[in-house]
């Protein structure tokens, strides 16, 4: 094992070269293909950002028209898949359903196995980005026992998703434009985050030349984990548990004494601030202007204020992360907490696909196959059954 390095959780190992996303944790910088996340959130749409992640450049007008048209016209999923949704229990978690449906999609597109063929790969990328909102919305409608709403090609990416989620009557659900745009911004902020757990899963599984549906099923399974896609749900539970602004100091004192963590605070990479959190905080105020204030907001603001001026948090470089405010926004929009990881997975699909594609196009990449430090027994004589204890 002489030359091998032991690096559990890849804390200090670059598993790939990548030109997609840059994070500078010390400076609080996040860029997609060189563009600052703040600029993209302010000026772009999620579909433009998805194109950027996948193609390396922002689309011009004609490219965006073609890309939007393609995505819009692949939003339907096969009826058999809709039927297979019926096989889940009434209380099945929407994220569990999404993971399964992504894997199941692979059986509808056997040609997707030709992962080295540019045209085939591109077709699957469009299909996945187009179908993520449909599968996600149907996973939700199944949970609440409402009839499925079919995609509406006249609507925007987010408008169509919101219609499939919330439509109760003809002709369609009309979201408030501020809320539709807010969802688009949240999708931009969540689209990629370099080699996080789920992107790493997409690359590792895809490195076996597994088709993209199964590679993304693996990625979304990783995202399903509470340490990855579940933190914003935990923030809501924490705020509810605190209950009132006056109870915040006592809660913070408890955290400092080791009673638990301040959820939505801290990050493995960002040690200054999470630039996504800044955008989201501003967005939260815009959303609450429309929906009315989420009663948990005051508690969150007080928590943030106290933590940012407290030595314990300052010394450990703990700042609000992307999840601190996002859950409150989703809740104000009417989404139940079980949908939060699904709302993360929809836009992250473009990041997973960009990472998966880059891995396949990199001549230096091979099947992911880490080594290990063996800690088991040395060679020993075989013990026949009659001699075993």
Alpha-carbon distances of 223 from 61, 128, 198, 339, 342, rounded to whole Å: 33, 17, 6, 12, 9
Catalytic residue among 152, 228, 310, 362: 228
Question: Quick check: is 142 catalytic?
Answer: no
Give me the least distance between CB of 182 and ligand CMC, in Å please.
Answer: 19
- Binding test (CB under 6 A) with ligand CMC, winner from 20, 191, 242, 263: 263
- Binding test (CB under 6 A) with ligand CMC, winner from 28, 266, 275, 327: 266
Give me the least distance between CB of 93 and ligand CMC, in Å please.
Answer: 19
Cβ-based nearer residue to ligand CMC, 127 or 193: 193
Nearest alpha carbon to residue 125 among 361, 342, 338: 361
Return all residues near 306 (Cβ < 8 A) that are at least 6 apart: 248, 249, 252
Instruction: Please report whether residue 268 would count as binding ligand CMC according to CB under 6 A.
Output: yes
Give me the least distance between CB of 257 and ligand CMC, in Å please.
Answer: 11
Give the other-Cβ count within 10 Å of 42's Cβ: 12
Element (H, E) at 132: helix 118-144
Start-to-end C-alpha separation, the chain? 33
Residues constituting the chain: 389
Q: Site residues for ligand CMC, window 206-235 (CB under 6 A)?
A: 228, 231
Catalytic residue among 74, 142, 190, 267: 267
CA distance 336 to 95: 12
Cβ-based nearer residue to ligand CMC, 193 or 278: 193
Question: Quick check: is 285 catalytic?
Answer: no
- Tokens 């999840």 found at: 323
Element (H, E) at 231: helix 231-242
Cβ-based nearer residue to ligand CMC, 162 or 236: 236
Q: Site residues for ligand CMC, window 57-86 (CB under 6 A)?
A: none
Q: Site residues for ligand CMC, window 1-30 (CB under 6 A)?
A: none
CA distance 322 to 301: 15
CA distance 283 to 291: 12
Inter-residue contact 75 to 160 (CB < 8 Å): yes
- Binding test (CB under 6 A) with ligand CMC, winner from 139, 262, 342, 349: 262
Query: Binding pattern to ligand CMC, positions 180-209, x when CB under 6 A?
Result: -------------x--x-------------
Give me the least distance between CB of 41 and ligand CMC, in Å please.
Answer: 16
Rounding to the nearest 10 degrees, give the CA dihedral for residues 296, 301, 303, 306: -160
Cβ-based nearer residue to ligand CMC, 171 or 258: 258
Instruction: Please report whether residue 321 would count as binding ligand CMC according to CB under 6 A.
Output: yes
Cβ-based nearer residue to ligand CMC, 48 or 323: 323
Question: Quick check: is 267 catalytic?
Answer: yes
Among the listed ranges 133-141, 172-180, 243-251, 256-264, the one in contact with ligand CMC (CB under 6 A) is 256-264
Sheet holding 21-24, edge to edge: 21-24, 29-32, 35-36
- Bridge-partner residues for 21, per DSSP? 32
Instruction: Please report whether residue 237 would count as binding ligand CMC according to CB under 6 A.
Output: no
- Bridge-partner residues for 32, per DSSP? 21, 35
- Binding test (CB under 6 A) with ligand CMC, winner from 105, 287, 322, 349: 322
Q: What is the DSSP secondary-structure string of 197-225?
A: HHHHHHHHHHTTT--HHHHHHHHHHHHHS
Residue 306 Cα to chain centre, angstroms: 29
The encoded tokens of residue 344 equal 């993360």
Among the listed ranges 80-88, 255-263, 359-367, 377-385, the one in contact with ligand CMC (CB under 6 A) is 255-263
- Binding test (CB under 6 A) with ligand CMC, winner from 267, 335, 351, 353: 267
Among the listed ranges 77-85, 125-133, 142-150, 317-325, the one in contact with ligand CMC (CB under 6 A) is 317-325
The encoded tokens of residue 107 equal 């059986």
Residue nearest to ligand CMC (CB): 266
Cβ-based nearer residue to ligand CMC, 137 or 329: 329
**Active site residues per annotation:** 228, 267, 323
Residues in the site for ligand CMC, rule: CB under 6 A?
A: 193, 196, 228, 231, 255, 261-268, 316, 318, 321-323
């Amino acid at each position: 094992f002489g030359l091998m390095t032991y690096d559990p959780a890849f804390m200090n190992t670059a598993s790939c070269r990548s030109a997609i996303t840059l994070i500078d944790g010390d400076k609080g910088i996040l860029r997609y293909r060189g563009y600052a996340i703040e600029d993209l959130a302010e000026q772009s749409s999620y579909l433009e950002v998805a194109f950027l992640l996948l193609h390396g450049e922002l689309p011009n007008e004609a490219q965006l028209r073609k890309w939007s048209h393609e995505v819009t016209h692949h939003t339907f999923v096969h009826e058999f898949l809709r039927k297979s949704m019926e096989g889940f229990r009434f209380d099945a978690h929407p994220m569990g359903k999404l993971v399964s449906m992504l894997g199941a999609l692979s059986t509808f597109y056997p040609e997707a196995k030709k992962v080295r063929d540019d045209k085939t790969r591109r077709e699957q990328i469009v299909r996945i980005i187009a179908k993520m909102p449909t599968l996600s919305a149907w996973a939700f409608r199944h949970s609440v026992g409402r009839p499925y709403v079919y995609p509406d090609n006249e609507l925007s990416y987010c408008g169509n998703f919101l219609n499939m989620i919330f439509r109760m009557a003809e002709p369609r659900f009309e979201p408030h434009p501020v809320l539709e745009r807010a969802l688009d911004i949240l999708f931009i902020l969540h689209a990629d985050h370099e080699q996080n757990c789920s992107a790493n899963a997409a690359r590792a599984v895809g490195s076996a030349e597994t088709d993209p549906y199964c590679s993304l099923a693996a990625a979304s399974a990783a995202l399903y984990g509470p340490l990855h896609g579940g933190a914003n749900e935990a923030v809501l539970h924490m705020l509810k548990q605190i209950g009132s602004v006056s109870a915040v100091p006592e809660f913070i004192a408890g955290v400092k004494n080791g009673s638990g963590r301040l959820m939505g605070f801290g990050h493995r990479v960002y040690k200054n601030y999470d630039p996504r959190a800044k955008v989201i905080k501003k967005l939260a105020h815009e959303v609450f202007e429309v929906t009315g204030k989420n009663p948990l907001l005051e508690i969150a603001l007080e928590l943030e204020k106290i933590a940012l001026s407290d030595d314990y948090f300052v010394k450990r470089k703990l700042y609000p992360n992307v999840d601190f405010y996002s859950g409150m926004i989703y809740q104000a929009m009417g989404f139940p907490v079980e949908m939060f990881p699904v709302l993360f997975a929809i836009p992250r699909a473009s990041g997973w696909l960009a990472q998966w594609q880059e891995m396949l196009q990199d001549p230096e990449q091979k099947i992911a196959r880490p080594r290990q430090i063996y800690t088991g027994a040395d060679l020993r004589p075989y013990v026949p059954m009659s001699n075993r204890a």
